[in-house]
Amino acid sequence: MQAPSRRLPALRLPRRGAPQLLAFAAILLVDWLVSPQFFDLRMQGGRLFGSLIDVFNRGAPVALLSIGMVLVVATRGIDLSVGAVMAIAGAVAASLADTHALPVVLAASLGAGILCGAWNGFLVAVLGIQPIIATLILMVAGRGIAQLLTEGRIVTFSAPGLAAVSNGAVVGLPAPVVLTVVVLAVTVLVVRGTALGLLIEATGANARASALAGVSTRTTTLAVYVWSGFCAALAGLVTTADILGADANNAGLWLELDAILAVVIAGTSLMGGRFSVPLAVLGAFIIQAMNTGILLSGYPPELNLLVKAVVVLAVLLVQSPRLAGLSLLVRRRTA
Amino acid sequence: MLAARMHRLLLAATVLTAMAAPGASAAGLTVGFSQIGSESGWRAAETSVTKSEAQKRGVTLKIADAQQKQENQIKAIRSFVAQGVDAIFLAPVVATGWDAVLREAREAKIPVVLLDRDIDPSGKDLTLTAVTSDSVHEGKVAGEWLAKTVGSKPCNVVELQGTVGASVATNRKKGFEQAITGTPTIKIVRSQTGDFTRSKGKEVMESFIKAEGGGKAICAVYAHNDDMMVGAIQAMKEAGLKPGRDILTVSIDGVPDIFKAMMAGDANATVELTPNMAGPAFDAVIAYKTKGTVPPKWIQTESKLFTAADNPQAVYDSKKGLGY
């Protein structure tokens, strides 16, 4: 029993990621068609510079969010508060940046994110409030908290340490991209290297049955919300470092929806169960490749949302099992 | 207990006598101000400037923060009417739905002055005047500065628009285009929305730089607000360009950080959206109350252009404490 069940996912994985990889390649191709210099790369100030790098650099915050979000969704939950948590983490970091040492700033900011995640987890796992409502509370209140911290202003800072979170480089790659890869690697290692991933999927597939079978669903649920809060705080640090300031009104605004979209593009069901962290990250980069393409295309901005909607629809249609069945049926008829 | 109550009674009595005095001087005026909220730095600055302008004229000011809700504003106006203030300032959160409450104010013979935003024409007869900025004119001032600065040299402009559909964005775009129509050498080559935010302004500028040959083909950036320009300036610097020298910048609002950029030589010009809407409003109310002068229906605030020649350090110092 042990051997085949271990080999099966490995065999399945490439087929599972095929639609997403295909969509990513297709969007990059379209980007290249609308803007021929899309794949041009050069070094600028010690890091790679080009539109392709922009896709990964600008996509990093949503990619970070989606790493936390995909685990939450796998437990049949949802975290609407990630955008607000980004704003809180950014506000904390920017307020402290010029007066405190970098480790203190990072610890306070990430700590705030973990605290927010723990609050969500407490509401969902301990009090049993439905995730969409439980996290809606922090989505609304969190932005208010961030605005209180910044007093409604854009709090700017000049500390180079915090700025490096966004404009730094590791072997020529922008720091946010490296950060995303590291968080992705750690998350995959933890959830797939141990039984944690299985426990998360079990919790999402059938919480009651899992609990009866001895899975501590409460701790599992709490843990994924905490991780989501942590990832959101990281994303908040990246966006704050990017503009050298905390904009509580706009930081992370509506990004929770992009993160959920990334998770859905990755083929994870909102009803919980099977999930893939790398594909969620790929989903985030698919969204960003589309955004960057729209910006490069020179189309009037009134079309932005329309183009985005059509592309998302296309990507999701490719994955639709019903549609796959339908096309098979059509092919059989015509044959 | 009793002493406190007596004190309050006495206070009320003085207020009453002050109001009853014929031909009340400016010093005796009480004005109620229904402010939208504090959603942006500019609005916070408007509130603090209103306070200082009231103090300057010896006007007693009562501020009600509506937290972005019309019903709170209507409540505030009703309570101002009940308190018998001399005038009401209203920064309306939306354009419609004011007729009933404005009629109540008119029946109480309390003039209402609109600040910073206008309302639908149906309610206009019920207000004394409106003090607002002309956002088409703001765009025009920005465009005229650019046309004057580049002269007859060909100039490719990239534009960072405000939020799609926002009237301010539409108007600032229109005004700028009107100003540059006379100069065919100035062309808007790219225009995208940066949603009025720093991070979107930066992201959009990054894409403009790549799409226009690494930024070499861009001669100037026009942003519908300063925050987007602050982001765009960062994008240009990170791409190895020199904003303010290689690429001219002109934006609108006059927030403190753009003056900081101007001091560093990174920004060239900004058109101020003055947070002092209350000053002209107080003057209009005082003239109306003391001399019976009816002001025009619209008082347009000045859209002043600031460049590096206008001592950005001094402007920055005067603005940074206002709550932007």
Least confident of A4-13, A181-190, A308-317, B130-139: A4-13
Determine contact: A41 vs chain B, CB below 8 A: no
Considering the four listed CATH numbers 2.60.40, 3.40.50, 1.10.287, 1.10.3470, the one that applies to the domain covering A45-318 is 1.10.3470
Read out DSSP for A120-169? HHIIIIIS---HHHHHHHHHHHHHHHHHHHHTTSEEE---HHHHHHHH-E
Q: Do A302 and B164 touch (CB under 8 A)?
A: yes
Q: What percent of chain B has pLDDT over 70?
A: 92
Q: How far is B42 from chain A (nearest CA, A)?
A: 9
Spell out which residues of chain B touch residue A51, defining contact as CB-CB under 8 Å.
207, 210
Task: Retrieve residue A109's tokens.
Answer: 């900011």
Q: What's the pTM?
A: 0.89
So where are chain A's domains? 45-318
Task: Give the pLDDT confidence score for residue A334 in this predicted structure.
Answer: 61
Q: How far is B166 from chain A (nearest CA, A)?
A: 12
User: Which segments of chain B belong to CATH 3.40.50.2300?
Assistant: 27-133+275-293, 135-273+308-322
Spell out which residues of chain A touch residue B217, defining contact as CB-CB under 8 Å.
none
Task: Give the pLDDT confidence score for residue A332 in this predicted structure.
Answer: 66
Among partner residues B193, B210, B227, which is closest to A296 by beta-carbon distance?
B210
Nearest residue of A to residue B240 by CA position? A44
Q: Do A151 and B323 touch (CB under 8 A)?
A: yes
pLDDT surpassing 80 at residue A15: no
Q: Which of B33, B98, B21, B96 is nearest to B59 (CA)?
A: B33
Please answer whether residues A143 and A248 qualify as being in contact, where contact means their C-beta atoms are separated by less than 8 angstroms.
yes
Nearest residue of B to residue A36 by CA position? B211
pLDDT surpassing 60 at residue A252: yes
Q: Do A296 and B211 touch (CB under 8 A)?
A: yes
* Angstrom distance (rounded) from CA A3 to CA A231: 34
Q: Which residue has the higher pLDDT, A14 or A83?
A: A83
Task: Give the pLDDT confidence score for residue B26 in this predicted structure.
Answer: 57
Confidence of residue B18 (pLDDT cuts 50, 70, 90): very low
Confidence of residue B19 (pLDDT cuts 50, 70, 90): very low
pLDDT surpassing 90 at residue B324: no
Task: Give the pLDDT confidence score for residue B321 in this predicted structure.
Answer: 86
CB contacts under 8 A, A 8-27 vs B, are none
Task: Give the pLDDT confidence score for residue A316 in this predicted structure.
Answer: 86
Confidence of residue B2 (pLDDT cuts 50, 70, 90): very low
Least confident of A52-56, A152-156, B141-145: A152-156
Q: Do B198 and A243 touch (CB under 8 A)?
A: yes
Q: How far is B41 from chain A (nearest CA, A)?
A: 5
pLDDT surpassing 90 at residue B16: no
Task: Give the pLDDT confidence score for residue A19 in this predicted structure.
Answer: 87
Q: How far is A29 from chain B (nearest CA, A)?
A: 16
Please, what is the angle between helix A217-243 and helix A175-193, to 10°?
Answer: 170
Chain segment B264-294, per-residue pLDDT in tens: 999 999 999 999 999 999 999 999 999 999 9
* Angstrom distance (rounded) from CA B69 to CA B76: 11
Nearest residue of A to residue B234 by CA position? A243
Please answer whether residues B267 and B249 qualify as being in contact, where contact means their C-beta atoms are separated by less than 8 angstroms.
yes
Q: Compute the mean pLDDT over every residue in chain B, rounded to the nearest whole number.
A: 90
Nearest residue of B to residue A40 by CA position? B210
Chain segment B21-70, per-residue pLDDT in tens: 434 455 689 999 999 987 778 888 999 999 999 999 999 999 999 988 99
Q: How far is A109 from chain B (nearest CA, A)?
A: 19
- Kind and range of the H or E element at B276? none
Cβ count within 10 A of residue A194? 10
Chain segment B181-221, per-residue pLDDT in tens: 999 999 999 999 999 999 999 999 999 999 999 999 999 99
Among partner residues A54, A156, A242, which is closest to B207 by beta-carbon distance?
A54
Q: How far is B204 from chain A (nearest CA, A)?
A: 6
Q: Which residue has the higher pLDDT, A233 or B43?
A: A233
Give Cα separations from B51 to A283, B47, B285 (angstroms). Answer: 50, 6, 16
Task: Give the pLDDT confidence score for residue A29 in this predicted structure.
Answer: 97
CB contacts under 8 A, A 263-302 vs B, are 292, 295-296, 298, 300-302
Specify which residues B250 forms β-bridges with: B222, B269
Task: Give the pLDDT confidence score for residue A12 in this predicted structure.
Answer: 45
* Angstrom distance (rounded) from CA B220 to CA B185: 12
pLDDT surpassing 90 at residue A326: no
Q: What percent of chain A has pLDDT over 70?
A: 93
Q: Which of A206, A275, A219, A332 is nearest to A66 (CA)?
A: A275
- What 3-state class would DSSP assign to B222? strand
* Alpha-helical regions (H) of A266-300: 277-297
Nearest residue of B to residue A61 by CA position? B199
- Length of chain A as a residue count: 335
Nearest residue of B to residue A35 by CA position? B211
Specify which residues B113 forms β-bridges with: B89, B129
Least confident of A12-21, A42-51, A153-162, B120-129: A12-21
Chain segment A100-151, per-residue pLDDT in tens: 999 999 999 999 999 999 999 999 999 999 999 999 999 999 999 999 999 8
Give Cα separations from B304 to A58, B80, B233 (angstroms). Answer: 36, 34, 22
Task: Give the pLDDT confidence score for residue B38 in this predicted structure.
Answer: 76
Task: Give the pLDDT confidence score for residue A4 in this predicted structure.
Answer: 46
pLDDT surpassing 50 at residue A304: yes
Please answer whether residues A228 and A131 qualify as being in contact, where contact means their C-beta atoms are separated by less than 8 angstroms.
no
Among partner residues B40, B199, B208, which is closest to A243 by beta-carbon distance?
B199
Instruction: For domain B135-273+308-322, give the CATH number.
Output: 3.40.50.2300
- Which residues from B are below 8 Å from A when comparing CB atoms? 38-41, 43-44, 161, 164, 190-193, 195, 197-200, 202-204, 206-208, 210-211, 213, 227, 230-231, 234, 238-240, 257, 323-324
Spell out which residues of chain A touch residue B202, defining contact as CB-CB under 8 Å.
242-243
Task: Retrieve residue A44's tokens.
Answer: 């600028």
Task: Give the pLDDT confidence score for residue B163 in this predicted structure.
Answer: 93
Instruction: For domain B27-133+275-293, give the CATH number.
Output: 3.40.50.2300
User: Both ends of chain B: CA-CA distance in Å?
Assistant: 42
User: Strand pairing of B248-253 and B220-223?
Assistant: parallel
Determine contact: A245 vs chain B, CB below 8 A: yes
Q: Compute the mean pLDDT over every residue in chain A, rounded to the nearest whole number.
A: 92
> Which distant-in-sequence residues (6+ apart) come within 8 Å of A32 by Cβ?
A38, A39
Task: Give the pLDDT confidence score for residue B11 in this predicted structure.
Answer: 45
Mutation for A interface: B159, B163, B210, B263, most A CBs within 10 A: B210
Spell out which residues of chain B touch residue A54, defining contact as CB-CB under 8 Å.
203, 206-207, 210
Determine contact: A143 vs chain B, CB below 8 A: no
Task: Give the pLDDT confidence score for residue A245 in this predicted structure.
Answer: 96
Q: Do A298 and B199 touch (CB under 8 A)?
A: no
Task: Retrieve residue B278's tokens.
Answer: 């209350």
